[in-house]
Amino acid sequence: MERWALTAGVAQRTLAQGRSMGTKRVPIDSDLLRRLYVHEALSTVEIAARLGCADRTILRRLRRAGIDVRPRGPVPTSRAERMGIG
């Protein structure tokens, strides 16, 4: 840690405190992700709101679970009809 930070009284984090202060790892089941994203066709923003985390977290977890991520933007009519939401 920088000397100026220590002399200014800035708290020093340890590795045991996690990657960043104030954040916690949200446990997300990959089966739940698959159901919400693939079968219910929810967006990453909608899933994140339900689970109480950031949409970027959902994107990372989808990729980690091997779930193909849809392109950004509105759902094309043809795909919406196949999914039964059009």
> 1-21: per-residue pLDDT in tens?
567 666 777 776 665 555 555
Give Cβ neighbours of residue 26 (< 8 Å, ≥ 6 apart).
51, 52, 53, 57
CA distances from 84 to 43, 71, 76 (A): 15, 18, 12
Domain spans, the chain: 27-86
Written as one letter, the residue type at 66 is: G
How confident is residue 66, by pLDDT bands cut at 50, 70 and 90?
very high
What is the model's pLDDT at position 67? 96
Phi/psi at 24 (5° precision): -135, 155
SS3 54: coil
> Considering only 16-20, 29-33, 39-43, which range has the smallest mean pLDDT?
16-20
